[in-house]
Structure 1
């Protein structure tokens, strides 16, 4: 995985839509590197390398190293544009990082023991699949793990119920209780709910004889 998160990049001076189109025809990906109060740099990467790397979940949440003219630069993927129906990466935005500065990223959620929770008959509903986090680059988690083994029918886990790795905080929770998002719910089985609704409904009275 480490090799996949290291990409060779070249500085490009030929800019504009026409230049980007020519790059794509040559199986290259136009990109830009910015951040850390430094000048933005327009880059070119090999499409096959970017396409292979973006198939890894870690590509979107872990530190990516760009080798630019032999100099390694650590960054995060901040945005990636894809072709609407072809398997083509159109453009990538990279954000420079500093080991001493906190970064904002999105960590994917890995739900553990979902099969155990499902054995109770519950229908598991995922409300979100990633969490906005802030931490130092060294503390970036590949994922946030949430154990559903003890999730009970009717129970909803919120961000405040999630155990975050050391050094990692939730961006939403830092905004206050109103941003304590629901993460996952164990809904009651549909059949059981239907039976409960039927029992709760008043019995129809037989028509009286006139």
Structure 2
């Protein structure tokens, strides 16, 4: 991606405020062999560029005063409640120096997996981006992850995917973090719970039925026994 910036002579809170009032956004470019340079950008063009994923994760070509240099977006300061970019930072790129960047993870084919298609599970994206280290020429715009092999009760870890050539993951001490987990849906667990609850109720309902014949037999014995003894006492 290529964008145009302009040199900025004045700095300070007051100068930046006046710049924003004219539809411009103050910024700075640093790193590399050159000195830090103050710049300004058209706010509307910058606002639309920030909506594009590539603007955050790829090497950009910045033109200032007719000269083009390769830079990376490093920081964006937004207004607390207005749709306003208050300040933006870029870093110059050296082709021989490794970069540390966060790259988006693009998941695909989850609907074709056994976990979703046949076992009615839900795929939970634990990580949406990955911190990587690579040379500028090897920097990917995103990393694609195939989820077609997911099954119920499994998880997809970092070691389960293949990173692009020249790219190393920076995990911050975690050896093999989870990227995606598979969760069973509530609708699938409910029938099993209902069946388990129905079994004791059925046993309790069946228990009184077994005692019914004994109760009936007692009534028959009581009706048959006392009749001759009562007649003898009257005589």
Supply the RMSD in Å over aligned alpha carbons: 2.3
User: Aligned residue for 1:166?
Assistant: 165
1:148 matches 2:147: yes
User: Aligned residue for 2:26?
Assistant: 30
Distance 2:190 2:156 in 1: 24
SS of 2:35's equivalent in the other structure is strand
Distance 2:195 2:176 in 1: 34
- The 5 Å alignment of 1:189-208 reads 189-196=185-192, 203=200
SS of 1:49's equivalent in the other structure is helix
Gaps of 5+ in 2: 209-235
Hey, which of these two has a bigger chunk of strand by percent?
A: 1
User: Aligned residue for 1:119?
Assistant: 117
Post-superposition shift, 1:114?
2.0
Post-superposition shift, 1:39?
2.3
User: Aligned residue for 1:16?
Assistant: 12
User: Aligned residue for 2:213?
Assistant: none
- The 5 Å alignment of 1:120-139 reads 120=118, 121-139=120-138
TM-score if structure 2 supplies the norm length?
0.78
Distance 1:9 1:154 in 2: 51
1:87 aligns with one of 83, 87, 102: 83
1:46 matches 2:42: yes
Gaps of 5+ in 1: none
SS of 2:36's equivalent in the other structure is strand
Range 129-138 or range 28-37, more displaced: 28-37
CA deviation profile, 1:166-195 (whole Å, cap 9, x unmatched): 0111011xx55x342211112112222344
SS of 1:39's equivalent in the other structure is coil
TM-score if structure 1 supplies the norm length?
0.86
Larger radius of gyration: 2
1:187 matches 2:183: yes
CA deviation profile, 1:120-171 (whole Å, cap 9, x unmatched): 3111111111100111111111111111111111211111212110011101
